[in-house]
């Protein structure tokens, strides 16, 4: 039986953090056996924020290395760079003609980014979800694994798909998001906000962080002032327990949950054990990445082969779409 298709992407914007990892990358790795997976580095998307052209190729390559080191297997999945396939941009244009501007103006991510980058509210920032819809629908996937912050964009992809079907005939099926167990990991320093690069390096743990850095960041994570008698767990503590559940063994989680409940929990002890648990999971990933760093040619070849593979489907589907639109 042919496997159903899965598509997802990540921007090459520098550090990849444990929010990305727990929010979606870990899921990508697990879903590789079940689906025919297309994973890509969204280098066009990342241009909507100012980037440094001098180190951009390096950043793209390092992002690919991180994906390989967490467990994306090029023998099972297709891994490629978005801009290697002009089909994504072509479909984005076609979808632009179907997308009401008002739909784009109400996107939360657009509003947040526009607020944060007042000096650079470029058309690409507004059009970002249309390109994302093209990235997805080009492969006619069944599922798209993402973190919680991308759900609104996925909804828009389905709105565009419906508009296309209504005007040009049934072609796209509805795509379904696939959320992980921790689809919205919070910041270590501002636990009411999601973990994000834009809040600065202390709010996240990068997959590349050294053991010393990890210890330092976890130890200074914001909690509450101690067991207060309130039955509500603070967002900082809740986030630490989520991390503990993701990185530590069951016994450790139960131990700290019990001490939280009987109000004997010492945050310094929980944090110290959590930091070691994170280091234990990230170390082998870092070792694999260090090996790949020595073999950049191999990684470049994986990306070129991936683009070739993706192109076969992208070209076939785009031609069908263009036929339906009367372009060929
Ligand atoms: P990006 O590069 O910002 O993030 C990559 C993935 O990580 C998830 N994520 C999180 N999950 C949980 N907690 C967090 N704090 C957290 N921060 C980030 C994101 O939800 C995402 O799944 N627009 C996408 C890239 C993209 C894409 C696509 C994704 C472009 N085209 C097509 C899917 C399909 C983005 O900016 O991801």
> Which DSSP string corresponds to 117-174?
TGGG--HHHHHHHHHHHHHHHTT--SEEE--GGGHHHHHHHHHHHHHHHHHH-S-PPP
19 C-beta closer than 6 A to ligand 1:
yes
- CA-proximal residue: ligand 1, atom 18 (nearest): 20
**Banded pLDDT at 227 (limits 50, 70, 90):** low
pTM for the whole structure: 0.97
pLDDT 10s digits, 240-277: 999 999 999 999 999 999 999 999 999 999 999 999 99
Other Cβ atoms closer than 10 A to 218: 22
Instruction: Report, as an integer, the average pLDDT of 299-316.
Output: 98
Ligand 1 pocket: which of 5, 7, 8, 10 to mutate (most atoms within 8 A of CB): 10
What's residue 263's pLDDT? 93
Instruction: Report, as an integer, the average pLDDT of 317-328.
Output: 98
Instruction: Report, as an integer, the average pLDDT of 160-177.
Output: 98
Instruction: Report, as an integer, the average pLDDT of 215-235.
Output: 81
Instruction: Report, as an integer, the average pLDDT of 94-101.
Output: 98
Question: Residue 123, class by beta-carbon neighbours within 10 Å (0-12 exposed, 13-18 middle, 19+ buried)?
Answer: exposed
Of 3, 14, 88, 103, residue with least CA distance to 52: 14
Instruction: Report, as an integer, the average pLDDT of 90-98.
Output: 98
Instruction: Report, as an integer, the average pLDDT of 86-98.
Output: 98
CA of 146 to the centre of ligand 1 (A): 6
For the cut 80, the answer to whether the pLDDT of residue 63 exceeds it is yes
149 C-beta closer than 6 A to ligand 1:
yes
Ligand 1 pocket: which of 62, 146, 185, 196 to mutate (most atoms within 8 A of CB): 146
For the cut 90, the answer to whether the pLDDT of residue 100 exceeds it is yes
146 C-beta closer than 6 A to ligand 1:
yes
Q: What's the CA angle centered on 298, arms 51 and 88, to 5 degrees? A: 50
Kind plus residue range of the DSSP H or E element containing 40: strand 36-41
Instruction: Report, as an integer, the average pLDDT of 76-99.
Output: 98
For the cut 70, the answer to whether the pLDDT of residue 327 exceeds it is yes
What's residue 229's pLDDT? 57
205 C-beta closer than 6 A to ligand 1:
no
**Banded pLDDT at 232 (limits 50, 70, 90):** confident
- % pLDDT > 90, the chain: 96
191 C-beta closer than 6 A to ligand 1:
no
**Banded pLDDT at 224 (limits 50, 70, 90):** confident
On average, the pLDDT of the chain sits at 96
CB 150 within 8 A of CB 32: no
For the cut 90, the answer to whether the pLDDT of residue 27 exceeds it is yes
- CA-proximal residue: ligand 1, atom 31 (nearest): 132
Other Cβ atoms closer than 10 A to 38: 24
CA of 10 to the centre of ligand 1 (A): 6
> And the tokens for 221?
């994570």
What's residue 1's pLDDT? 78
């Amino acid at each position: 039986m042919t496997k159903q298709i899965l598509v997802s992407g990540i921007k090459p914007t520098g550090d990849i953090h444990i929010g990305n990892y727990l929010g979606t990358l870990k899921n990508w790795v697990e879903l590789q056996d079940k689906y025919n997976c297309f994973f890509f580095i969204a280098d066009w998307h990342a241009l909507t924020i100012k980037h440094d052209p001098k180190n951009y190729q390096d950043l793209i390559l390092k992002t690919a290395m991180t994906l390989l080191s967490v467990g994306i297997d090029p023998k099972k999945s297709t891994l490629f760079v978005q801009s290697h396939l002009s089909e994504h941009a072509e479909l984005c244009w076609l979808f632009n003609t179907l997308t009401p501007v008002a739909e784009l103006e109400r996107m939360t991510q657009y509003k947040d980014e526009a607020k944060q980058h007042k000096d650079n509210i470029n058309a690409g920032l507004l059009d970002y979800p249309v390109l994302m819809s093209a990235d997805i629908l080009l492969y006619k996937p069944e599922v798209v694994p993402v973190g919680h912050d991308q759900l609104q964009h996925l909804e828009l992809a389905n709105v565009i798909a419906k508009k296309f079907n209504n005007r040009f005939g049934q072609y796209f099926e509805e795509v379904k998001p696939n959320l992980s167990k921790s689809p919205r990991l919070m910041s270590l320093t501002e636990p009411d906000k999601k973990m994000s690069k834009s809040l600065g390096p202390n709010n996240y743990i990068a997959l590349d962080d050294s053991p010393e850095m990890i210890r330092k960041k976890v130890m200074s994570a914001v909690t509450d002032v101690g067991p207060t008698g309130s039955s509500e767990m603070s967002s900082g503590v809740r986030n630490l327990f989520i991390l503990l559940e993701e990185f530590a063994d069951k016994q450790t989680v139960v131990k700290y949950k019990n001490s939280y409940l009987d109000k004997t929990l010492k945050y310094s002890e929980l944090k110290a054990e959590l930091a070691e648990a994170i280091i234990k999971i990230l170390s082998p990933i870092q070792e694999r990445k260090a090996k790949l760093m020595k073999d950049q040619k191999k990684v470049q070849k994986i990306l070129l082969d991936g683009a070739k593979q993706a192109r076969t489907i992208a070209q076939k589907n785009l031609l069908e779409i263009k036929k339906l639109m009367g372009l060929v």
